[in-house]
């Protein structure tokens, strides 16, 4: 929901209508990546802080410095903050902006995947490891080789392979990698290097991970999102095209790729037959929330699926001070996700 539309909002009334409330209120949390480990829900959000940076389309005001891990015994119990899990000062290659992370598990080890800007101002993706799902996490000394952009999401398939999905346009710099290398030339506008409106939209990326989950085992590939006729979504179709916040889950044998449309504020999804796609656009998961961004994850707990998302209702609409929420997801008889309206209680 655009910032200029919040001036006349009665937030007390809005929060009464909200379908869910913030999981924690003592800190601001956003971009929740949720997983069930050992029968418990663990949520890996970014940690919003007010660093005083000016608002701009490059996301400079999103100046997050560390990660906290949240956990819930069940979806109906209070969330616990496990405290500091990792700080940017712990990461040798990273200078700033610990944006939206994800995590996964293999052989009793827990892996935190995170984007950060290096000392040249370029987003890359790193990995940190812990013996416990809540951390603390110890980062690897270098970023993943050939990684770039933001919003890593790591999906474990039924055959034991792990795939990382990533990418985000504008401040996420995906458009600066169109030629396979970072284009840092001026102008330093988030709209520079984007396709024209009548050209295919930029694609998020996917790469299978190595067995130790520390590197890509292949060159990242495009995740193609198409319409029902099989045509790639166009850059100008801003209500449907990918902007950021990739996520993958599997339901009834199908792969559901979900994402945010960014500047139009929708969470959308597309369905495919394998982890690489192509994925056919299928609809909206969530209508716009208060706050500019929309970022989510989807996880199953004891047969029920849940959407983890955020909004800025607790901060009364401040874009970069968000709060993580949870709400059930419902599918229809055709496997379509029923669109959720966040303030329809």
pLDDT digits (tens, 9 = 90+) for 94-137: 999 999 999 999 999 999 999 999 999 999 999 999 999 999 99
Please identify every residue annotated as catalytic.
31, 244
With contact defined as beta carbons under 8 Å apart, do 290 and 275 qualify? Answer: no
SS3 58: coil
List the one residue out of 112, 113, 28, 36 whose CA is nearest residue 71. 36
Residue 224: which CATH number?
2.115.10.20
SS3 248: strand
**Cα distance between residue 298 and residue 328, in whole Å:** 9
Determine, yes or no, domain membership for 285. Answer: yes
Which parts of the chain register pLDDT below 50? 2-4
Q: How many domains does the chain have?
A: 1
Residue 276: which domain range?
3-328
Residue 153, token pair as written in the block: 């999401």
pLDDT for the residue 53: 60
Determine, yes or no, domain membership for 334. Answer: no
pLDDT for the residue 4: 47
Phi, psi of 179 (to 5 degrees): -100, 10
Determine, yes or no, domain membership for 227. Answer: yes
SS3 2: coil
Determine, yes or no, domain membership for 341. Answer: no
Determine, yes or no, domain membership for 335. Answer: no
CA angle 37, 204, 144 (to 5 degrees): 65
Determine, yes or no, domain membership for 337. Answer: no
Report pTM: 0.96
Q: In a 10 Å sphere around its CB, with 0-12 CB exposed, 13-18 middle and 19+ buried, how is residue 94 labelled?
A: buried
With contact defined as beta carbons under 8 Å apart, do 116 and 91 qualify? Answer: yes
Determine, yes or no, domain membership for 340. Answer: no
């Amino acid at each position: 929901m655009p910032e200029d539309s919040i001036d006349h909002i009665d937030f007390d009334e809005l929060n009464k209508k909200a379908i869910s409330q913030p999981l924690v209120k003592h800190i601001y949390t956003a971009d929740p990546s949720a997983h069930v480990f050992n029968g418990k829900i663990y949520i890996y959000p970014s940690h919003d802080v007010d660093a005083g940076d000016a608002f701009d389309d490059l996301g400079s005001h999103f100046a997050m410095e560390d990660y906290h891990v949240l956990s819930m015994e069940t979806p109906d119990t209070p969330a616990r903050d496990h405290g500091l899990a990792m700080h940017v000062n712990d990461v040798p290659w990273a200078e700033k902006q610990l944006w939206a992370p994800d995590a996964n598990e293999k052989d009793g080890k827990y892996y935190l995947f995170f984007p950060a800007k290096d000392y040249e101002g370029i987003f890359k993706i790193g990995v940190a490891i812990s013996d416990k799902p809540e951390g603390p996490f110890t980062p690897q000394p270098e970023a993943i080789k050939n990684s770039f952009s933001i919003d890593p999401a790591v999906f474990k398939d039924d055959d034991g392979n792990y795939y990382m999905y990533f990418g985000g346009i504008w401040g996420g710099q995906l458009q600066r990698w169109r030629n396979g290398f970072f284009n840092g030339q001026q102008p330093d506008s988030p709209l520079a290097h984007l396709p024209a409106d009548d050209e295919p939209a930029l694609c998020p990326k996917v790469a299978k991970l190595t067995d130790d989950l520390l590197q890509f085992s292949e060159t990242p590939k495009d995740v193609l999102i198409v319409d029902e006729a099989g045509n790639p979504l166009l850059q100008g179709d801003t209500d449907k095209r990918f902007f950021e916040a990739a996520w993958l889950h599997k339901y009834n044998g199908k792969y559901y790729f979900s994402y945010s449309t960014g500047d139009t504020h929708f969470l959308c999804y597309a369905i495919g037959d394998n982890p690489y796609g192509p994925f056919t656009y299928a609809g909206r998961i969530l209508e716009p929330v208060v706050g500019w961004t929309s970022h989510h994850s989807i996880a199953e707990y004891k047969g029920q699926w849940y959407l983890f998302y955020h909004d800025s209702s607790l901060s009364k609409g401040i874009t970069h001070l968000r709060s993580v929420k949870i709400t059930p997801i419902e599918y229809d008889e055709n496997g379509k996700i029923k669109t959720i309206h966040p303030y329809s209680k």
